[in-house]
A and B are shown apart, each in its own frame.
Chain A
Amino acid sequence: MSRYAMAIDLKACVGCAACSVACSVENEMPVGTHRLWIRNTTIGTFPDLVVEHRPEACLHCENPPCVPVCPTGCCFVTADGIVDLDVKRCIGCSACIAACPYDARSMHPAGYVTKCDFCKHRVADGRAPACVETCPTLCRTFGDLMDPQSEVSIAIRQARRVDVLRPGLGTGPNLYYLNAPAKFGLVGGEGSRS
């Protein structure tokens, strides 16, 4: 059994949004809708400035608050740790959108919820998610955390600093941010994971 995770090296991310575009194309998102977005924050005052380009999407939480509130049971976690949903059973009640602390879910114009699924169709074929394959700075790594030799395990091990979003909530994100540019870690974060 695998435990899929993704890591993004913020030192290398330039905020070009190629990953977001690749995601939208791969998952045939209607114009103007996104599963993956970039938060660009300028920190400090001139001349002591740092910019954090932070791509965000579903974090495939280990304890996902979005799953137990779904009344039709269409939200579930796969054996590999992907937080997925069966859109054929979604009633568009938005309970899962309300429960997600990361704004990672949104309503597809066709009337069901949509979010990142780690490109499960590609992963099933042994390929990396579209965002990972497209990133021109190679700042994204994806793989199995149970395998110490996977790219993602190595990247996390070798990082100077590892953060997750809002660790205080106990959601256990599987999207790791490496080497946050600011001295204090992630912008608006609540602390480091390691």
Chain B
Amino acid sequence: MTEFYGLPSPQHFWHWPTLIHFALVALAGGAAVVTAVAHITKHPKVRTYALVTMVLIVLDLFTLWIESPARFRFTHVWIFLAFTPTAPIWLGAWGLTISLVASFFVWIGKGPRLLWSAALVVGSLLALVYPGLALAVNVNRPLWTPVLLVLFPLTGMLTVVAIAALFRQAWAPRWLTVLSLASAVMGVVYLFALATGAAEARQAYAYLWSHGGPWFVVALVLLAAVPALVRRAPIAAALVPIVGATLIRSLIVEIGQVQHFGF
């Protein structure tokens, strides 16, 4: 039996606004990647994509500011005055900022094309990859495994491609199928790696299972169902992966905050 005097108990240090941020940053990073590809391939709708990217990034940054306990201390400027490339949040902040600036110039159609292409490639990749990295670096939290380095960018791209499918972009349905299946496979790999891992990973797997595991399975089933829906019910095929991908990301962020399995 264990009792505590004065435990600070930061078991849940990120709350529901953070889940909204993880959903929005998936869209923002994914949209930035789409804008980068559209800019490089001279897609006729690149300006629209750039505008959507800007709106999503601004919305995400606003959510981050709202949820920050330091929102009225305005200390966030220090991110841009420091050089901390080992910090995933620093990488993400720069990725989003670079994507925002480059998208703005693509939208107004000004500036050197090559520069904005390069900026969009670098910025969008940073923005897309950093959420998974921000979790995976915490080796002390066994539910945040290196598999997230692949699963989070995949689900991020999936949500934005699903939005594009919803707005009937011709290129979207094919990618919707590919990304849904890839995300579902990585979701299974994530569970399998936990279930067959070391003792702490297995305890974390049991914890995940008892704290929302069935919802994880629901999300996987939704993702796996997308190829069957793409032709028959295109709107459902676009909505279903948004729900599935957001559910998976939210469950991992929320439940994964625990540690001390077997400790």
A residues adjacent to B (C-beta < 8 A): 15, 17, 20, 24, 33-42, 65, 68-74, 88-95, 97-101, 103-107, 111-112, 166, 169, 187-188, 190
Contact = CB atoms under 8 A, between A and B. Distances in A.
Contacts of A34: 6-8
A38 B5 contact: yes
A101 B87 contact: no
A106 B10 contact: yes
Given A34-B8, A99-B138, A112-B75, 4 more contacts: A69-B138, A73-B82, A106-B9, A107-B13
A77 to B, nearest CB: 14
B3 A91 contact: no
B79 to A, nearest CB: 5
User: Interface on chain A toward B: helix, strand, loop, or mixed SS?
Assistant: loop
Contacts of A37: 4-8
Contacts, number: 139
Interface string B234-263: 000000000000000000000001011011
A188 B263 contact: yes
Contacts of A93: 68, 89
| B interface, size bucket | 35 or more
Contacts of A36: 6
A158 to B, nearest CB: 28
A169 B68 contact: no
Given A20-B6, A37-B5, A92-B69, A72 B84 contact: yes
B140 A100 contact: yes
Contacts of B71: 111
8 contacts: A37-B7, A37-B8, A93-B68, A98-B14, A99-B137, A103-B11, A106-B8, A111-B73
B171 interface: no
B2 interface: yes
